[in-house]
A and B are shown apart, each in its own frame.
Chain A
Amino acid sequence: MKKHPLLSICLLALSLFSLGAQADDHKDTIKVGVLHSLSGTMAISETTLKDTVLMMIEEQNKAGGLLGKKLEAVVVDPASDWPLFAEKMRELIEVHEVDVIFGCWTSVSRKSVLPVVEELNGLLFYPVQYEGEESSKNVFYTGASPNQQAIPAVDYLMDQGVKRWVLAGTDYVYPRTTNKILESYLKLKGVAEKDIMINYTPFGHSDWQTIVSDIKSFGSMGKKTAVVSTINGDANVPFYKELGNQGLSADDIPVVAFSVGEEELSGIDTNPLIGHLAAWNYFQSAESDANDTFIETWQKFIGNDTRVTNDPMEATYIGFKMWAQAVSKAGSTEVDEVRPAMYGLSLPNLTGGTAVMNSNHHLSKPVLIGEIQDDGQFEIVWQTEGEVVGDAWTDFLPESAVIVSDWANPAINCGNYNTKTKKCSGQNF
């Protein structure tokens, strides 16, 4: 609800000013690029992450900055336009000469900036859960890979006695890849072809009558059925509404979603959703002192004491803190020095436990399953024993199972190493 027009004007002025006075500026500040859409379709999700980075910068500056310098945010708006992401990335690195970039949400925007950030040797922290199958030298992935979200969620449901599976998703790269992985995983676990239903819908699909009716008849065959949803963004609300209206409750056919978090729920009437599930590495309802402090700081920063926190925010938090640690450790903001300093760094999670950055540029994090409550929060019903190591290349697709990523081992030193042919493909994505 509350925005900070003044803040954004100040920032704009600052960044304009810094344009004019770059040479002097560069010496006593460390520039942090923020590449999140502030307009267009993705603004709904990405604006929050921009605010999170600004908050982290403010906190860091209060604590004395880094290497004796103040941090300075450079905010650009790629406007949910994928090619514009690449242009803005180039602008951040070449014109503003930022030392690190926090940004991107959709996989397509990440794919769009990848060649630029690799060419210019930038450093990007990507904070959103994604389909995996990538490990770039210049990107750290602080969100979940499929084995940190989708696979544990399916394991949980199997444990609950689910025998039939609907894989429903929006028609783009993340759901397609995730469902491909899940399908082969389910088959590996002995689920028959006829017990899996796969369905794709366009972006922003709002008429779910037929699909929900199909799910209903698919689920009324006497075997316990669950929906694994990779439905993206806006399309979720009408989907859940239709489920509720057609009388499918969570105890009949639970839906486990990978893109529905506290932020998305804050925009909807949660009554038809109660009991449906989500799998994340973080829930606002997690009980820990670090989380309480984080929520409090966030609500104070944003000036709204009902504002929620979510998983990509935690991923941004971990990414930022780790980067700051790595810079202190390396004593420099040069990408080539910060990158090796990142490996093996650890940081307390907001949910308790410790996140560790692995040499495949993915984190070790716990996986949590939560059930949606009437207040838009999640009741954590299950969580993994310890942390799960993020896997860049999935073990459940034959072509990816043989590939590993390791940027610390000098014998491998690439993001796409084939353990059979003992070669790097040269392409990290």
Chain B
Amino acid sequence: MRNFVLLLILFSSLFSAGLSWSNDLEIKSNTLSKQTFNDAVNGLSSKKFTQKKTYIQAIAESKDPRALVILQQLLDSKIYFLKKTKTIVIAELDGKNAEIWNAISGTNLGILTKRKIKKVGINNKLRRQLKVEIAKLSLGSPSKKIRTQAAEEIIKGIDEVGLQLFTDRLAIEKNESIIKIMQTGIALYAFNNGSVDEQLGAVKILSDSLYPVVKNTLKKGLKDITGSALSTKKLALKHALEASIEKIDYKLSWYKQAENIFFGISLGSVLLLAAVGLAITFGVMGVINMAHGEMLMLGAYTTYIIQQIMPNATAYSPLVAIPFAFIFTALVGVIIERSIIRHLYGRPLETLLATFGISLILQQAVRSIISPQNRAVATPDWMSGSLQINPALALTYNRLYIILFAIAVLIGLMILLQKTRFGLQVRAVTQNRTMAKAMGIRTDWIDAYTFGLGSGIAGMAGVALSQLTNVGPNLGQAYIIDSFMVVVFGGVGNLWGTFFGAMTLGIANKYLEPMTGAVIAKVVILIFIILFIQKRPRGMFALKGRSAEN
């Protein structure tokens, strides 16, 4: 399986270079460059980073079709050398063993123990250099994404080589957005190296671009125009620069606002997910459940366990974990309700203490059974990275999916409570327990199910949290206070209240944070809620009617 994957990577990257191994064998004419290529690759076993730097340069400039593969593998830290012979190899590690391929010829050298090979270490300077060189080599890639990334990488430090690559590529490039990036790059070069006329022309193109490098270049250009007696041309350039920078700043400030709102909504949806289960157990049933945070934790651990069971399907494991987490935590919830909480209804103080005890027991249980250490939950590829809307605004995928998930959970829950028989019974019991009993509803079982439902939802939220934060025994504690805050602020017993409560707190927090810092922002929010509760003791959305009176 592993070999196959690696071969696939090898071939696909070869393919992306537009060439293949067999082609390479035919290029025997240029033996000299081949020799330099081989020497440069073999040189990578050097211990000194400065030497590696020159060898990487040599590989990149060798025009050898294998250069791109080697550089990419080096960046992905897959290049090793045999400790004995210093032969450079590509290795795929598997536990204590490694399957290796000769990096120059591509022949499989079989499986060795890990101790016999040593990685070709790289540092950040080399990583930077590799990225630039790879970008320069992959501007002709068939993948639009790779070409875009390459062009964006090259404009960061546009030089003559980059300019040449861009001008060559412009003749054949069809994609509008990539053409635009390349034009930006050419304009940047013109601005840096051209005459005042050329600079003026470049500023016009650049004023539409939001890349940080553009703004910095323009700012630097403006700074360089000094002196009081400026020629008319220079004066025109100065005005053009000032106008462009203002235009860019104006746009950036709007995107900053958009980004801030997105941050607020995403924090809000995390709060919503954490609190919505509590809104049921605390809001609907009136149980102060201090172990709610531990239900989140158990849900997160379920994700971890599912991932241990199916290590080869990281991409699906969070999805698979959602139902499992729900069932598992719901079960734990029902057990807690049946064994402890049902004996304590109507005694809030004792419930509080008992559930606090349960939370400590669950935490220590996880510490003893699994580990006091945090566990690694891998993030699937489709949840990492960000959706690049433009160079100034990127929305991270994990947050986007969690926003969607939170909304889905809320809608599902509302349907369950409003449209199903179970939901009807739950509402009946919360409104008037005695009357519901008289109507033949088994209220104690409804209590157990409702508590299970609240816990189960917390479990699902735990799956989402496992993608954001640490999966460890303390996960729950970090969220319990916030959850109570949301429920109390939003209004007890009302799901819409929880929704608006979470979103208000999320967005308010994100607007305060840049101004006051994260610590003070939290304090301010807390004070705000205390004052708010003084004014409206039942939260934003108070329940009206007889049930609210008790």
* Interface residue ranges, A against B (CB under 8 Å): 1, 3, 5, 38-39, 41, 43-44, 47, 160, 171, 199-202, 204-207, 209-211, 213-214, 220-222, 234, 237-238, 241-242, 244-247, 249-251, 254, 263, 266-269, 272, 274-275, 277, 371, 373-375, 379, 381
User: Which chain A positions have C-beta within 8 A of B368?
Assistant: 3, 5
Contact between A272 and B384, CB atoms less than 8 A apart: yes
Q: Which of B17-54 contact A (CB under 8 A)?
A: 49
Contact between A205 and B518, CB atoms less than 8 A apart: yes
Q: Which 6 A-B pairs have the closest CB atoms?
A: A267-B374, A220-B212, A222-B216, A245-B396, A251-B128, A43-B372
Contact between A209 and B376, CB atoms less than 8 A apart: no
Q: How far is the CA of A356 from the CA of B511 in the complex (A)?
A: 51
- Minimum Cβ distance to chain B for residue A204 (Å): 5
- Among B172-180, B456-464, B467-475, the one that faces the other chain is B467-475
Partner of B267, one of A41, A207, A222: A207
Q: Which of B207-255 contact A (CB under 8 A)?
A: 212-213, 215-216, 219-220
Contact between B121 and A379, CB atoms less than 8 A apart: yes
Q: Given A200-B517, A220-B216, A371-B123: A246 and B374 within 8 A (CB)?
A: no
Q: Which of A234, A238, A250 has the most CB of B within 10 A?
A: A234
- Minimum Cβ distance to chain A for residue B242 (Å): 18
Contact between A209 and B478, CB atoms less than 8 A apart: no
Q: How far is the CA of A265 from the CA of B384 in the complex (A)?
A: 18
- Minimum Cβ distance to chain A for residue B215 (Å): 8
- Minimum Cβ distance to chain A for residue B491 (Å): 24
Contact between A381 and B374, CB atoms less than 8 A apart: no
Given contacts A201-B518, A247-B386, A249-B127, 6 further A-B contacts (CB under 8 A): A1-B373, A43-B473, A213-B263, A222-B220, A246-B386, A379-B123
Contact between B468 and A210, CB atoms less than 8 A apart: no
A-B contact pairs, 14 of them (CB 8 A): A44-B373, A160-B125, A211-B518, A213-B259, A222-B213, A242-B396, A244-B384, A247-B386, A247-B388, A251-B124, A266-B376, A267-B470, A267-B472, A268-B374
Contact between B518 and A200, CB atoms less than 8 A apart: yes
Flag whether B260 is at the interface (Cβ < 8 A).
yes
* Interface residue ranges, B against A (CB under 8 Å): 49, 77, 93, 119, 121-125, 127-128, 131, 212-213, 215-216, 219-220, 259-260, 263, 266-267, 270, 364, 367-368, 370-379, 384-386, 388, 394, 396-399, 468-474, 477-478, 509-510, 513-514, 517-519, 522
User: Which chain A positions have C-beta within 8 A of B213?
Assistant: 222
User: Which chain B positions have C-beta within 8 A of A250?
Assistant: 124, 127
> For chain A, what secondary structure do more than half of its interface residues adopt (helix, strand, loop), or is it mixed?
loop
Q: How far is the CA of A223 from the CA of B79 in the complex (A)?
A: 31
Q: Given A207-B267, A250-B124: A200 and B519 within 8 A (CB)?
A: yes
Q: How far is the CA of A62 from the CA of B376 in the complex (A)?
A: 36
User: Which chain B positions have C-beta within 8 A of A251?
Assistant: 124-125, 127-128, 131
Contact between B270 and A207, CB atoms less than 8 A apart: yes
Q: Given A221-B216, A246-B394: A202 and B270 within 8 A (CB)?
A: no
Contact between A371 and B124, CB atoms less than 8 A apart: yes
User: Which chain B positions have C-beta within 8 A of A373?
Assistant: 77, 119
Partner of A246, one of B128, B396, B473: B396
- Minimum Cβ distance to chain B for residue A272 (Å): 7
Partner of B399, one of A160, A209, A237: A209
Contact between A234 and B49, CB atoms less than 8 A apart: no
Chain A minimum-CB-distance residue to B522: A202
Contact between B384 and A245, CB atoms less than 8 A apart: yes
Contact between B469 and A210, CB atoms less than 8 A apart: no
User: Which chain A positions have C-beta within 8 A of B472?
Assistant: 44, 234, 267
Contact between B267 and A209, CB atoms less than 8 A apart: yes
